[in-house]
Amino acid sequence: MITQLMPAMVKVAERKIHSPEFATLYIDEPIDFKPGQFVMVWIPGVDEKPYTISHHSPDRFGITVEAKGIFSRKAVSLGPGDKIGIRGPFGNGFNMGNGHKRVAVVAGGCGMAPLAPLVEAFQTDNGPETLLIQGARSKSFLLYPDRFTAKAEICTDDGSKGYKGFVTDILVQKIKALPANLAPGFDMVYTCGPEIMMAKVFEICEAHGIPCQVSLERYMRCGFGVCGACVCGHAVVCKDGPVFGSKALRTMADFNTRALLKTGRSVPLNEYAAWRCQ
Amino acid sequence: MQTTFLGKTLHTPLVLASGVLGSNKAILERVWENGCGLPTMKSIGPAPREGHKNPTVIDLGNGMINAVGLPSPGYLNMEEEWQELSDRAFPINASIYGGSVDEFVRVAEFVSAKGPDFIELNISCPNSDQHGMIFGVNAQSSHDVVAAVKKVIHVPLIAKLTPAAPDIAGIAKACEDAGADAICAINTAGPGMVIDIESRSPVLAFKKGGLSGPMIKPIAVRCVYDIFRSVSIPIIGLGGISTGTDAIEIIMAGASLVGIGTAVRYRGITVFDKVNKEINDWLAAHGTTLEEIRGAAHREAL
Ligand SMILES: Cc1cc2nc3c(=O)[nH]c(=O)nc-3n(C[C@H](O)[C@H](O)[C@H](O)COP(=O)(O)OP(=O)(O)OC[C@H]3O[C@@H](n4cnc5c(N)ncnc54)[C@H](O)[C@@H]3O)c2cc1C
Ligand SMILES: Cc1cc2nc3c(=O)[nH]c(=O)nc-3n(C[C@H](O)[C@H](O)[C@H](O)COP(=O)(O)O)c2cc1C
Ligand code: FES
């Protein structure tokens, strides 16, 4: 059984390769789940890292990994029968609200992973009208192209698919295109992607009086709010988050500015993003 | 429940244990606002250090095992943090470590000039082969490091001890004789190990790790009890304290202040307010005070 205590060793049931950079590993085990929550994934002898649950059904879940550094490259090379340790789920997940009529979901790159189960949950009969705005560097970085029935607006930085430009441009257009008598136009905007993109989404939402929720990443160790590795201003990302609403963001000192390295040193966000585990 | 500790007024008798949350000013302040009288910073080391690979912290249900491995930016790389802390409205305890007496002295002298309210010497961490515990298990080396640091700092010195010492009361006495102003006990117990039997592999990347939380409380209570009999300086008692009655117990063993670490996992950051309230309720129900119960478990025997 997968719990927040000792990692449970489970077999990878299936691996789906999306592109040279992305693969999803499926595990045939039940796990408690709310969209936006994450698990700690342990590869014995390598390391342990947080991954959001990107696929979920009663007897199966999946994580989607972008091959980046030593750990994630190892993870995407795993196949059926390989064993990994899982503990979790951790974090608060998205607040899906009650009776939302219209929501927007703004995803950048791998940020689609936590948002995908949210979009699926909204796609049910009495769910809100959901506008999905999905962006990536180029076509091959667009995750899950055939997964949703919801309306999707696609953008790529290089124009290889959809609009050439930023998801935030589309968000502004869509907000402005809504009839003026709908105020606010969206009941909630959900976003995950590069922090600078989420900060821009937050800024746009603030300017239009729309509440928003973002999912943050920081270096993690325990995953349950004790070690302090993941703090962002006064917020403990693994425990209070990783999803934060507008109210928390307004007073979160380090949002879109600084993050702690593995040493605990506080550095500008670009320095944090360039840092690699050895 | 205001308390005076080594001449400073604290708004509650609760201390945040070092290495738990205290990574920046904002979180230290948040803990203080939630009822912690004295937040302790993460241990500061002589050089940048990343700590161990994950897994580093595992919840075993009745406590945790950890080998975080003393990550630190290094004392020379924390200028912004000291800047931010300089106009703080709350007291802080700066925990430091080193791999030799010289390193302890260098870090302590520098940190002391940054104006923390207290300096805590971590001579008790089990999670590095070169730091910490090697000092705290030996009375002579504990004495040497405390005496050397005491000469170069201008704030009260707290020595943090390990329950791995064969005679923790003797170590505490050696620290007191060397000039320590208070004792903090205990650091994590063990070290212990957990093995995943499916992969046949120790779970922690460092293999061994220190135990904390409810499972070590009886060890902590015994250590504080023994130390109380051998020294006359105040004791910060910690190790598995999660509730008001746990706090009362370790105060009866002799603690002046009570530290909380792992219980943040089980009761959230608001654990401090909760424990303060539980202490007050217990004292009120029994018509007594903290001063009256401190060391009470010794009275019949003394
Ligand atoms: C809540 C949360 C959810 C995440 N979900 C996903 C996901 O669904 N898919 C995905 O591909 N990645 C996800 N990540 C990132 C993932 O944990 C790894 O950081 C990433 O896969 C790179 O790991 P690496 O070791 O290969 O790269 P490295 O070269 O070691 O590091 C690359 C970058 O990853 C970050 N990082 C490294 N170690 C950690 C760590 N222990 N905790 C947090 N960040 C770290 C740092 O920003 C670093 O700059 C998530 C992170 C968090 C915090
Ligand atoms: C994740 C973690 C990290 C710790 N890091 C430090 C540290 O850097 N310095 C230190 O003196 N003690 C450290 N400790 C020990 C605690 O300060 C405390 O002494 C111990 O955990 C017992 O208290 P508790 O049971 O309330 O957690 C750490 C404990 C934990 C759980
Ligand atoms: S990862 Fe340990 S507090 Fe968040």
Q: A140 lies in a domain?
A: yes
- Percentage above 90 pLDDT, chain A: 89
- Residue B125 among the catalytic residues: yes
Residue B301 — pLDDT band, cuts 50, 70, 90? low
Q: Based on the domain organization, do A186 and A271 belong to the same domain?
A: no
Query: pLDDT, tens digit, for every residue of A34-93?
Result: 999 999 999 999 999 999 999 999 999 999 999 999 999 999 999 999 999 999 999 999
The residue in chain A having the minimum alpha-carbon distance to the alpha carbon of residue B268 is A225
Q: What is the mean pLDDT of residues B277-286?
A: 98
Q: Are strands A243-245 and A258-260 parallel, antiparallel or unpaired?
A: unpaired
CATH at A77: 2.40.30.10
Q: Based on the domain organization, do A225 and A119 belong to the same domain?
A: no
At what angle are helices B168-177 and B217-230 packed, to 10 degrees?
50
Of the candidates A96, A145, A162, A141, the residue with the CA atom closest to the CA atom of residue A123: A96
pLDDT confidence of residue B136: 87
Q: What gap in Å lies between CA A45 and CA B203, rounded to an integer?
A: 9
Among residues A72, A90, A108, the one where a domain terminates is A90
Catalytic residue selected from B125, B175, B184, B223: B125
Q: What gap in Å lies between CA B235 and CA B125, rounded to an integer?
A: 18
Range of the domain at A71: 8-90
| Domains contained in chain B, number | 1
Residues near B126 by beta carbon (within 8 Å), at least 6 away in sequence? B67, B132, B133, B162, B164, B187, B188, B190, B191, B208, B209, B210
Position B7 pLDDT exceeds 80: yes
Q: A236 lies in a domain?
A: yes
pLDDT confidence of residue B75: 96
| Domains contained in chain A, number | 3
Q: Based on the domain organization, do A132 and A79 belong to the same domain?
A: no
Query: pLDDT, tens digit, for every residue of A140-161?
Result: 899 998 899 877 999 999 999 9
Q: Which of B30, B56, B59 sits opposite A224 (nearest CB)?
A: B59
Q: What gap in Å lies between CA B218 and CA B250, rounded to an integer?
A: 9
Task: Quickly list DSSP for B121-162.
Answer: EE----S-SSSTHHHHT-HHHHHHHHHHHHHH-SS-EEEEE-
Query: pLDDT, tens digit, for every residue of B126-161?
Result: 766 667 677 888 999 999 999 999 999 999 999 999
Among residues A182, A214, A246, the one where a domain terminates is A214
CATH at B79: 3.20.20.70
Helix ranges, chain B (H): 25-33, 79-85, 101-112, 133-136, 139-152, 168-177, 217-230, 244-253, 263-267, 271-285, 290-293
pLDDT confidence of residue B134: 75
Q: A3 lies in a domain?
A: no
**Subunit contact A263:B51, Cβ cutoff 8 A:** yes
Chain A partners within 8 Å of B203 (Cβ): 6-7, 42, 85
Q: What gap in Å lies between CA A229 and CA A272, rounded to an integer?
A: 13
Q: What is the mean pLDDT of chain B?
A: 95
Does the beta carbon of A211 lie under 8 angstroms from any beta carbon of chain B?
no
Q: Based on the domain organization, do A29 and A113 belong to the same domain?
A: no
Give me B174's structure tokens.
């050696």
CATH at A178: 3.40.50.80
Q: Where are the beta strands (DSSP E) in A55-187?
A: 55-57, 60-66, 83-90, 102-108, 129-136, 151-156, 163-164
Residue B94 — pLDDT band, cuts 50, 70, 90? very high
Q: A64 lies in a domain?
A: yes
Q: Based on the domain organization, do A209 and A256 belong to the same domain?
A: no
Range of the domain at B125: 3-298
Q: Based on the domain organization, do A79 and A101 belong to the same domain?
A: no
Tell me the nearest-neighbour CA distance from A118 into chain B, angstroms: 27
Say if residue B256 is exposed, middle or buried (CB neighbours under 10 Å; 0-12, 13-18, 19+).
buried
Say if residue A181 is exposed, middle or buried (CB neighbours under 10 Å; 0-12, 13-18, 19+).
exposed
The residue in chain B having the minimum alpha-carbon distance to the alpha carbon of residue A265 is B73
CA torsion angle B213 B218 B221 B226 (round to 10): -130
- Residue B66, ligand 2, Cβ within 6 A: yes
Q: Which of A5, A83, A263 sits opposite B48 (nearest CB)?
A: A263
CA of A7 to the centre of ligand 2 (A): 21
Q: What predicted TM-score, i.e. pTM, was given to this entire model? A: 0.96
Query: pLDDT, tens digit, for every residue of B181-197?
Result: 999 999 999 999 999 99
Among residues A90, A123, A155, the one where a domain terminates is A90
Chain A partners within 8 Å of B196 (Cβ): 6-7, 9, 44, 85
Q: A246 lies in a domain?
A: yes
Query: pLDDT, tens digit, for every residue of B26-70?
Result: 999 999 999 999 999 999 999 999 999 999 999 999 999 999 999
